Structure 1
Amino acid sequence: MLFSDKKELLGLYNATGKTNYTDPELLEINTLENAIYMAMHNDISFIIDSRLSLYEHQSTYSPNLPLRYLMYIADLYSVLTRKENLYGHKTVMIPVPFFVIFYNGEEQLPDRVLLPLSDLFKTPKSFLNNEEYKELYPALELKALLLNINPGHNQELMNSCKTLKDYSEYTARVRQYAKVMNLEDAVERAITECIAEGILSDFLEKNRAEAKSVSIYEYDQERHLRQEREEAREEGEKIGREAGIRAFVIDHIEEGMPPEKSILKLQKLFSLTNEEAKSYYEEYSQTNC
């Protein structure tokens, strides 16, 4: 919503690319409204000075952004060259792509992270060891630049684009207040404070109701994804821990160690109560039998 305005988008582009364009009408916005991949669509894409920029905003880090960008750029080039003869002798010139991710999630990341598509390739060693094909690797590459826009990061960029800095401050306040009050009240407080302090004030005054509903929805989604990841991590740790306990019990049985001694060691090694250690020992000793 913020950067659908050409003037704001040009300001973001100038800050990101360290350029100084002044005419917003130079921007040719070509965002793929109907290109859907894995329930996601690209946020903003536009051309200026033969440069095709694709911007994504992410509150959750994902190493798969280069793959999604590959899908987007293929569709965009298809649209841009639909009237060209791709089978002819004349070279079809295309704008240079530039891929940027604006990240403001809670996972701690550095100011800048380069995400190459080639990091996702399942490359067999036989291919890399073949001198004939080494020069072809990677035969396809795409590099996306992740910029951390949380407060305290990329100060030069933030100082060059007040709207981006204000957005960062607004979302940080929503997160901060949501820790001590219900989400709706947290968003309302953040909006009220930001308007009073000149942070996104014009935008929030004009779009208060919509900004509030979107903020609540987005934060809920972000929190839901975070909880899912935490549950998956805990489940993985539980499975790994139980596998370790099982291997410990089986090894000690095979070595002929007395049950009492095994249970005592099991209790200390895995920080279990005596009852828990006995239960695990009995369960896995029967499985081994």
Structure 2
Amino acid sequence: MGNNENMVTSSNAATNGNMAQNDHVEKSKAAMPAVNRTFKSTVFIMLFEDKRNLLELYNAISGKHYTDPELLEINTLENAIYMSIKNDVSFLIDGRLSLYEHQSTYNLNLPLRFLLYIANQYASITKDVNLYGTRLIEIPTTEFIIFYNGRKDCPDRQVLRLSDMYTVKDKSYKLELEATMLNINGTHNQNLKEACRTLKEYAIYTDKIRKYAEKMSLEDAVERAICECIEEGILEEFLKKHRAEAKAMSIFEYDQEKHLRMEREEAWEEGRREGEENTKRIFKLSLMGKTSKEIAEVCGIPEEKVKQILE
């Protein structure tokens, strides 16, 4: 009887201990602000939604020397979701509509994404004017900038064009969109980063996370990067004020980057295996006496491709 009582007591103690532990975990999760997955939530957006930081970045990009942040009119479309496309920061100044995008993954489809977004922006800007009248409607000139800090080795500056995506190549195009991609990793675009301290410090912060994530858990890497940056005066005020939120967003962002990278690697490996299987099948059919035309029909690929493989 005494043993049974001890077993019950031990069981209750273990249960209570587990409940307390679970309660602690739930409280810890509650303390970590949730990242909004419907819209893009990143440290980059938080930093440059601040007009002072955004004006500093615009001056660095344009070579201007504006001092009044209120000259900027931030007009990022909060609900402009089309095919899951949302821009990071959109703003008006100088009669120009500038769209800034931060990317940690290399993406050549950004010109099309910008086109879809700017169409929504122009629709919003002109919603109260008569587009069918005889008077010419003025719209702001556009500028598209991508700040890239992914793993792919890229030049300081690269121009991505909508026409690169066209299936038919011409000497000139009736519809074109050019986006400038600026690599902000390491020592890339150092002059630009020196002209914009916030961008420079953001790049240092993300470099630290990526470096430490190679040898420790992502959560520990982000925590170490935040601690070091605060100690070194890098994004110090921002990280002190938004520490928990910045940590949550950074973990989510780098988890997402890793997931996308793994998906691409798996797709490449799957494509390689399929290619090897198709090659074996083509040679087997050839040995059976099938013509290149017959093999092409069986395999569902162009005859020219069959001839290239057999050669």
TM-score per shorter chain, which class?
0.7 to 0.9
Report % sequence identity: 60
Match of 1:52, SS state, is: strand
Match of 1:174, SS state, is: helix
CA distance in 2, matches of 1:90, 1:253: 72
Root-mean-square deviation (Å)? 1.6
Q: TM-score, normalised by structure 1?
A: 0.81
CA distance in 2, matches of 1:185, 1:224: 18
Q: CA deviation at 1:73?
A: 1.0
Q: Name the structure 1 match of 2:28.
A: none
Q: CA deviation at 1:17?
A: 1.3
- 1:37 touches 1:68 (CA, 8 Å); kept in 2? no
Q: CA deviation at 1:37?
A: 2.4
Q: Work out which of the residue numbers 24, 31, 34 in structure 1 matches 2:76.
A: 31
Q: Name the structure 2 match of 1:119.
A: 164
Q: Work out which of the residue numbers 212, 222, 226 in structure 1 matches 2:261.
A: 226
Match of 1:243, SS state, is: helix
- Pairs within 5 Å for 1:1-289: 1-123=46-168, 128=170, 137-252=172-287, 254=289
Q: CA deviation at 1:7?
A: 0.4
Q: Name the structure 1 match of 2:43.
A: none
CA distance in 2, matches of 1:108, 1:57: 16
CA distance in 1, matches of 2:187, 2:278: 42
Match of 1:39, SS state, is: coil
Q: Which runs of 5+ in 1 are unaligned?
A: 129-133, 256-289
Q: CA deviation at 1:83?
A: 2.1
Q: CA deviation at 1:250?
A: 4.3
The one of the two structures with greater contact order (alpha-carbon pairs below 8 A, sep at least 6) is 2
- 1:112 touches 1:148 (CA, 8 Å); kept in 2? yes
Q: TM-score, normalised by structure 2?
A: 0.75
Q: CA deviation at 1:248?
A: 3.7
Q: Which amino acid aligns with 2:228?
A: E
Match of 1:105, SS state, is: coil
Match of 2:112, SS state, is: helix
Q: Which runs of 5+ in 2 are unaligned?
A: 1-45, 291-311
Q: Name the structure 1 match of 2:15.
A: none
Match of 1:215, SS state, is: helix
Q: CA deviation at 1:116?
A: 1.0
CA distance in 1, matches of 2:163, 2:249: 35
CA distance in 1, matches of 2:173, 2:196: 36
CA distance in 2, matches of 1:153, 1:244: 42
- 1:158 touches 1:165 (CA, 8 Å); kept in 2? yes
- 1:10 touches 1:27 (CA, 8 Å); kept in 2? yes
- 2:85 touches 2:117 (CA, 8 Å); kept in 1? no
CA distance in 2, matches of 1:82, 1:231: 45
